[in-house]
Amino acid sequence: MSTKKITGLTELSTAPAVGDLLPIVDISDTTDASSGTTKSIKSATIHKAAGIGAGNTTAEPVKIDTSNGRLGVGVAAPSSVCEIAGTGVPFEVTSTNSNGLKMAFTDSVSSTRGYVGATSTHKFVAADQDGAYVFTIGSNSAINQQAYASYNDNDAHDICSIANRSGIIRIHETAGSIHTPYWSCGGAGVAYKWAMLEVDAITLRTMVHTSTFSVTNPGTSGNTYEIKTNGGDGTFSVERTSGALAYTVSVSSNWY
Amino acid sequence: MAIQYTKSITSMSTEDEGDNANVVKSAVYNITATEGNKSFTSMKPILLGDVSDDYASYDALTEDVVIGWCEAVMGSSEVTALKRGLEAQFTAPITSGVPQEKQLPW
């Protein structure tokens, strides 16, 4: 048996072969001493303690296939650079970053990166390389939801600016939903202009600074609302003018 | 159990104005009402207008500062109205109006 110290041995500077051996004290086996029995272990076996091995078992959920450079979790033979398999939701990404972006996608040029993620108010977001949202899914499956607010009074509420935007305003109450499509006609300041569909009368409205129209939900005890557009900052407001049902206003924008 | 309110900012849009870089022109204001394991959120994008005397560099901003800007623009009556609107959902939830697709149980 060698009497050399480990520091005096020749270093194996390449990756060990699967069958290369290391000494190990098996503390579960007290045959030789109460503190354990010295044994040998193959280098590949050591990784099993960290769960790296077969790839498709509970004890060894990770597979690293050095023959093709692939990583698998929950799969014995990963078919791509990284494959994750399992039941239920096998893959989840969590980040506490407040911008909601969780994953980046890029080609070989890092500046052409895109992001996806989710926030407390958007179930899905896609963002450009600057982190600006370009597509979202909000409450009640609203596409590109710009605003969502709940009210239960008879005051006029500025919801948001829809200047140079097109989309749908959804006013929802227990008696049903009123969907008001709107289309930008351009303009600026007090000259902002839109077309809006007054859906209960099937009337196309021209909306400019301080234009208004009313719309009534025909459902049981349905509310009546006044929708008003404002020049300057391009906001619009919603006011419950009759009825007593609480309501929500959802604005989906950037529908070109 | 009393309703608890939390406020947050989920995004901001900026422009450069003169010597001032990344001036925040709008911010998305969120207010969430929570009671027990139920919560409801209202979300509004707020136009913040021109640079004021309290201009601060973008990197020095805090969420509380921007929340304060948004509430100053909206006014306290609108913040109260948002709270009352959220409260109404606890007593009479406004359902989506259509059946919601649900994850399959198998």
Q: Which residues of A touch B81 (CB under 8 A)?
A: 151, 153, 155, 157
Q: What is the pTM of this model?
A: 0.81
Q: Do A140 and B96 touch (CB under 8 A)?
A: yes
Confidence of residue A2 (pLDDT cuts 50, 70, 90): low
Taking one residue from A and the other from B, the number of pairs with CB-CB distance under 8 angstroms is 86
CA atoms of A161 and A233, how far apart (whole Å): 6
Q: What is the pLDDT of residues B29-86, one digit of tens each?
A: 999 999 999 999 999 999 997 666 667 788 999 999 999 999 999 999 999 999 999 9
Q: For residues B74 and B82, give the distance between their C-alpha atoms in angstroms, rounded to a whole number.
A: 11
Among the partner residues B30, B40, B47, nearest to A161 by beta-carbon distance: B47
DSSP A130-163: TS-EEEEE-GGG-BTEEEEEEE-SSSEEEEEE-T
Interface-testing mutation among B6, B34, B44, B89, with chain A (most A C-beta atoms within 10 A): B44
Each residue's pLDDT tens digit, A4-63:
888 899 999 998 888 899 999 999 999 999 999 999 999 888 889 999 999 999 999 999
pLDDT at residue B43, rounded to an integer:
94
Q: Span A174-200, mean pLDDT?
A: 94
CA distances from A31 to A45, A135, A152 (A): 22, 66, 78
List CB contacts (< 8 A) between A148 and chain B.
41-43
Arithmetic mean of pLDDT, A126-138? 89
Instruction: State residue A82's pLDDT score.
Output: 97
What is the rounded distance in angstroms from the CA atom of residue A91 to the CA atom of residue A222?
A: 44
Do A157 and B86 lie within an 8 Å CB cutoff?
A: no
Query: What are the structural domain ranges in chain B?
Result: 4-91
Whether residue A177 contacts residue A163, with contact meaning beta carbons closer than 8 Å, is answered with no
Q: By CA distance, what is B14's nearest residue in A?
A: A132
Pairwise CB contact (< 8 Å): B94 & A246: yes
A120 reaches B (C-beta below 8 A): yes
User: Residue A172 is nearest to which of B9, B84, B94, comparing CB atoms?
Assistant: B94
| CB-CB neighbors (< 8 A) of A177 in chain B | 97
Contact A150 B32 (CB under 8 A): no
Q: b/e per residue, A17-54, with b = 16+ CB within 10 A?
A: eeeeeeeeeeeeeeeeeeeeeeeeeeeeeeebeeebbe
Using CA atoms, how far residue B33 sits from B37, B79, B90, in Å, is 11, 12, 9
Residue B77 to residue A120, Cβ atoms within 8 A: no
CA B33 to chain A, closest CA, distance in angstroms equals 11
Indicate yes or no: CB of B45 within 8 angstroms of CB of A172: no
